[in-house]
């Protein structure tokens, strides 16, 4: 079975289960944290896939990665136990990403990413979030990143669209125009 199909089935079943019983918001935060743990610690996936590690150790590791020192929710515990029982822990990272995506669709949450050369103030960040939420008719989750390599301006990703108004990109365009023009001359 393909990774995407299997992950989507588990995520759909989980979201339907928690929407009936409540607690989807806490579960969403746990999967955000788990997904972040997978991204920041690439060895986590290898460790969970390790057949030598016991099921209880895997369970403890996953719960710690998802909720830290806090107690995980009952729905999360039940889901992880089912995944481990069925030996599907290899797909856990993809299941968490699918759940996050399904949750955002069900709650009408848009995601945005603002990349700037210098940090932006909270007022500017909130104004961008509220404007994007108004235009999209959805809640917005906005991530701000400081990347000095763009030299100035900003790059704004919202859902599947990108507005690149960075100085680095504009300089690349000017450079490419000079190169193209010089090719025609020679």
Q: Would you say 26 and 66 are in contact if contact means Cβ atoms under 8 Å apart?
A: no
DSSP codes, 29-58: HHHHHHHHHHHH-THHHHHHH-TTS-HHHH
Helix (H) or strand (E) run with residue 106 in it:
helix 92-107
Q: How much is the pLDDT for 147?
A: 92
| Cα dihedral 86/89/93/94 (nearest 10) | -40
**Which letter, b or e, does each residue of 75-92 get, where b requires 16 or more Cβ atoms within 10 Å of its Cβ?**
bbbebbeebbeeeebebb
List of E strands, the chain: 109-116, 139-146, 154-158, 161-164
Angstrom distance (rounded) from CA 170 to CA 113: 20
pLDDT digits (tens, 9 = 90+) for 61-104: 999 999 888 889 999 999 999 999 999 999 999 999 999 999 99
pLDDT at 180 over 90: no
pLDDT digits (tens, 9 = 90+) for 4-24: 888 999 999 999 999 998 889
Q: Would you say 178 and 167 are in contact if contact means Cβ atoms under 8 Å apart?
A: no
């Amino acid at each position: 079975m393909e990774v995407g199909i299997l992950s989507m089935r588990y995520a759909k079943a989980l979201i339907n289960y928690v929407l009936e019983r409540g607690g989807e918001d806490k579960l969403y935060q746990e999967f955000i944290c788990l997904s972040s743990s997978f991204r920041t610690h690439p060895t986590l996936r290898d460790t969970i896939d390790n057949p030598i590690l016991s099921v209880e150790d895997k369970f403890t590791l996953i719960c710690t990665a998802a909720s830290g020192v806090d107690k995980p929710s009952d729905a999360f515990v039940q889901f992880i136990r089912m995944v481990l029982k069925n030996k599907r822990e290899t797909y856990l990272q993809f299941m968490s990403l699918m759940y996050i995506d399904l949750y955002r669709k069900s709650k009408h949450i848009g995601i945005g990413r603002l990349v700037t050369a210098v940090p932006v103030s909270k007022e500017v960040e909130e104004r961008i979030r509220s404007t994007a939420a108004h235009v999209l008719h959805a809640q917005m989750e906005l991530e701000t990143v400081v990347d000095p390599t763009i030299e100035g301006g900003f790059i704004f990703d919202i859902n599947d669209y990108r507005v690149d108004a960075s100085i680095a990109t504009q300089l690349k365009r000017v450079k490419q125009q000079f190169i193209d023009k010089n090719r025609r001359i020679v």
